[in-house]
Amino acid sequence: TVQPSQRVQRVKPSPTLAVTARAAELKAAGKDIIGLGAGEPDFDTPAHIKNAALKAIAEGKTKYTPVDGTPELKQAVINKFSRDNGIDYAPDQILVSCGGKQSFFNLALALINPGDEVVIPAPYWVSYPDMVTIAEGKPVIVKATLENRFKLTPEQLDAAITDKTRLVVLNSPSNPTGTAYTRQELEALGDVLRKYPEVLVATDDIYEHILWSDEPFCNILMACPDLYDRTIVLNGVSKAYSMTGWRIGYCGGPAWLIKNMKKIQSQSTSNACSIAQAAATEALDGPQDCVKVMLAAFKKRHDYVVARLNELPGVTAIESDGTFYAFPDFNEAMCTLDIQKDTDLAEILLEKGVAMVPGSAFGAEGCMRLSYATSEKALEAALDRLQDALA
C-alpha cells in the first residue's frame, strides 16, 4: 500500500486545534461545553481595520503582491519595529507571511539542516517542535519550572547548547504560560549567547501588546543590541488586533536569512493575501486605542480566573504578565484524585463541561492551559464547574 512520507509521519497534528474540534463535536451532540481551548481573542477585528480591507477590495487591490509584502505594509512594519522596539531594519530585512506560523515555518526550512539542534524552552508553543521536525532538525526541549515562572535560566541555556545548536527560540510573553522575561533576565541569557557566535536566536513577540507587567515590553535584541546580526524578530497582527483569520505575520532579521526565507515562501504560498495586507497596514499605522481596550478586558478576566484557580484544591496558578492564558498546575489535584495523565484529567473535565488543553501538549505534564478569551459569564460558569469537579 502507498504510505505517506516519513516526514509527515513524524509530525503530530496541533493538539490545541484537536481540543477545539473535540469540544465542538460534543457541543454538536447537544452537550453543554464551555470552551477554554481557543488561542484567539474573542473580540471582533476593529472597524477601521475592516474598512481598510473593504477599501482595498473597492480599489482593486486584489492581485498578487511582491512575495515579501506590499511596500506599504513593509514600511508600516519598519515603522513599528522602530517605534515600539527601537530596532532599525531596511526593506530587505522584512518578510510578510501568512501568519506568524508561516514566519517560523519559513525560518525552520531556510535555516536548519538535518540533525541541527534547536533549543526550545518548555512550556512551549505547540508548533515549534513539530516545525523543527518537519525541517529534519532536532528539537532540544529544556524544561523551565513553575518556581522560575516557567522561564529558562542562563545555566539551563548554557547546558543545552552544543556544537550542533543552530537556533534558540524565545517566546515572551509566552503561550502557554503567560509570563514574560524581564530585561535583566534577557541580558543574562544574552551573556550566554555571546559565548556561542554561531547560534541564532528567534524571538517570538506575537503577544507583545498583551502585557500588563510593571516592566515595559522587552525582547532579547532590545536587551542585547549587539545580537542584531543573529537575531530574528517574529511578530504578527493576529493577537494584538484580534485578526487571527486574516493570516498576516511578519518578521525582521539579517538580510541573508530573510532572503532565504523569502525563497521558501516564493515556492510555497507566494505573497500573503493582498486584502489582508491592506488591513494589517492600517492595524500597524492606525490608531492603537483598540489594543488598550482589549488589554484591559484580558487583565480583568486574568485577575478573576487566577484568583478562582488558586481556590481549587491541589491547584497552583501563578499570575501572568500578559497574554490571555492561565497555566495552572494540577499535579497535586491529580495525585489526590489518582489520575495519572493530564490528558485523562482533560477528558474528565471535558465530561464536566469545560474544555482545556492538557499541559503535556506544551511539554509540561500536569498543567492545563486555559484561555480566558471568552466572556466573564462563561469564565464564572467554567470555574464553578471545575470547583464541583475537584471537590
Q: Distance between CA atoms of 196 and 189, rounded to whole angstroms? A: 11
**Can you give the binding site for ligand PLP, defined by CB under 6 A?**
39, 99-101, 125, 171, 175, 204, 206, 236, 238, 244, 249
H-type alpha helices, the chain: 6-9, 15-28, 47-58, 71-85, 100-111, 127-134, 154-160, 183-193, 220-223, 255-266, 274-285, 289-311, 331-336, 342-351, 376-390
- The residue (of 182 and 371) whose beta carbon lies closer to ligand PLP is 371
Residue 171 C-beta: closest distance to ligand PLP, Å: 5
For the residues of 231-255, what is the DSSP string, one character each? EEEEEESTTTTT-GGG--EEEE--H
- The residue (of 99 and 353) whose beta carbon lies closer to ligand PLP is 99
Report which residue's Cβ sits closest to ligand PLP.
99
Interior/surface letters 100-117, b for 16+ CB within 10 angstroms, e for the rest: bbbbbbbbbbbbbeeebb
Cell matching residue 209: 501588546
Query: Between helices 342-351 and 376-390, what is the axis angle to 10°?
Result: 110
Residue 129 C-beta: closest distance to ligand PLP, Å: 13
Compute φ and ψ for 172, nearest 5 degrees: -150, 125
Q: For residues 116 and 358, is the Cβ–Cβ distance under 8 A?
A: no
Pairing type for strands 231-236 and 34-35 reads: unpaired
Residue 75 C-beta: closest distance to ligand PLP, Å: 20
Residue 391 C-beta: closest distance to ligand PLP, Å: 32
Residue 345 C-beta: closest distance to ligand PLP, Å: 22
- The residue (of 24 and 389) whose beta carbon lies closer to ligand PLP is 24
- The residue (of 44 and 229) whose beta carbon lies closer to ligand PLP is 44
- The residue (of 204 and 390) whose beta carbon lies closer to ligand PLP is 204
- The residue (of 85 and 331) whose beta carbon lies closer to ligand PLP is 85
Give CA torsion, residues 49, 221, 161, 9, to 10 deg: 10
Q: Distance between CA atoms of 378 and 383, rounded to whole angstroms? A: 9
DSSP structural state of residue 316: B
Residue 170 C-beta: closest distance to ligand PLP, Å: 10
- The residue (of 108 and 333) whose beta carbon lies closer to ligand PLP is 108
Cell matching residue 322: 500578559
- The residue (of 262 and 308) whose beta carbon lies closer to ligand PLP is 262
Residue 332 C-beta: closest distance to ligand PLP, Å: 27
Amino acid at 341: K
Q: For residues 370 and 356, is the Cβ–Cβ distance under 8 A?
A: yes
Residue 318 C-beta: closest distance to ligand PLP, Å: 18
Residue 102 C-beta: closest distance to ligand PLP, Å: 7
Q: Distance between CA atoms of 19 and 41, rounded to whole angstroms? A: 17
- The residue (of 103 and 331) whose beta carbon lies closer to ligand PLP is 103
